[in-house]
Amino acid sequence: MLSDLHSVVVDVGDFDVAVGDYARLLGQAPDWVEWGAERRTRSALFPLANTILEIRAAAAAPSAGAAPAGLSGLRLACDDVERFVDRLASAGVAVRPRVSQKAERSDGQSARTWVSAMLDPVASRSISIELISDEDGPRPLWTDAPSIDPQSAIRALDHVVVFSADLDATRLFYADHLGIRLALDRRFEKRAVRLLFFRIGGVTIEIGGRLGVEPAPDSADRFGGLAWQVSDIEAIRSRLQADRFDVSELRDGNKPGTRVCTVRDPVHDVPTLLIEPLS
């Protein structure tokens, strides 16, 4: 079964610039920089308390048909990819062939390996989802001692936002097929939205859709952005503004008692929210 949200993947055009920007945003340097298979991609891994942010770029100049920049995929850790894939297949969920993966650290001193399987994009409603197990080698670990004031650093991912035009089909996929716990299914009539909150490993996958419209079964779900959890939103907002980030004013969050602000730039095409949870 699935255990946690292993990582979220953000594809970028300029690797060095994006890594620098996210290091400033998070308040920490990447723990690990690596080359993917056959050096086709380069990645920087930023470990947080409950997941890993992976900034990834193609080693060569992007082709005309390359995927656009921005939030591009979720990796889910499970205890046994082969067994989990067999379970999905019995439920009629298509999964691409399992493969062994290897990534070599940029300094050439170490490598990590894992087994993965990509869900067919039709089955996952166009959201890129990779299942991971049997990791071997160093895994980036989060430290609660960043080089800056911990109060102004990002400590964890609060939620990933996904938009859907067929919430019942999306609910079936995440709850029944993947077996992720549905913590909340709620309609907000004044906002004309319905929200599904799936919880896995301390992270929420928030699925949103409009009320009052006909479901579109053949439509593609799409990513809506990332919401980062912070302990002192005023401290981090002041730090980011001083570091030339474009940050909105503070406002009350949708959940009573929370405060939020939007980081507009530079976030490399990833809608970004900071949220200070309830004390």
Where do the structural domains in the chain lie, given as residue ranges? 2-136, 150-276
Residue 110 has a pLDDT of 87
The residues facing 76 across adjacent strands are 5, 131
Mean pLDDT per 10-residue section of the chain, whose length is 279 residues? 95 96 94 87 94 91 65 96 93 93 87 94 95 85 66 92 96 96 94 96 96 90 97 95 97 92 97 90
- Looking at residue 63, what is its pLDDT? 57
User: What residue type is assigned to position 201 of the chain?
Assistant: G
Class of domain 150-276: alpha beta
How far are the Cα atoms of 22, 32, 37, 148, 251 from residue 29, in angstroms, in the given order? 8, 9, 23, 11, 29
DSSP-derived pairing of the beta strands 203-210 and 193-200: antiparallel
Identical fold for domains 2-136 and 150-276, yes or no, is yes
CATH code, 2-136: 3.10.180.10
The predicted structure's pLDDT at residue 5: 97
For 49-92, write each residue's pLDDT tens digit: 999 999 999 877 655 555 678 999 999 999 999 999 999 999 99
Question: Rg of the Cα trace of the chain?
Answer: 19
Whether residue 57 contacts residue 71, with contact meaning beta carbons closer than 8 Å, is answered with no
Whether the Cβ atoms of residue 18 and residue 57 lie closer than 8 Å to each other: yes
Which two tokens mark 148?
A: 């800056």
